[in-house]
Amino acid sequence: MIGLPRGDSIAYNFLPIIRALGDQGKRVNNLDFWIPNCSPYISKMVYDINNRIFTIEFVDNVNDFNPLLRLVCKSVLSYSEDTVDEDYDDDLIDGVIDIAWNGAQKTLVVLTDKKEMILKLEQPPFSENVISQAN
């Protein structure tokens, strides 16, 4: 069962504002754009406060669980996080529900089953392939 954001959460209420503002028609909030040909399941999510970098690694599928794609946010100006569901089962795999980028506001909202994050960035986020560490 997917845990959906509650209506009283910060990012859940902020998301329609980002979608409405857009970036002169260049608003992007589609998972197919940010993580194409990839599952929404997360293998690793890290905010490196010293280097101001936020990353999320996504897996190919829930069965194989091989890291495939990474969403990278460099030059993070601010980061806020809220727990969506305090009762969420920690044994369940966290997955992304939505990613919304507003270029005019330079704001990224990431909603997962467990958390919601709002990031203010100096530059747009980007996706890259995860390079396998296997020999």
Asked if pLDDT for residue 28 goes beyond 70, the answer is no
Res. 106: pLDDT tops 80: yes
- The token pair that represents 17 in the structure block: 């504002």
pTM of structure: 0.76
- Per-residue pLDDT of 37-95, as tens digits, reads 899 999 999 999 999 999 999 999 989 999 999 999 999 999 999 988 777 677 788 89
What DSSP assignment string belongs to 70-94? EEEE-SEEEEEEEES-TT--TTSPP
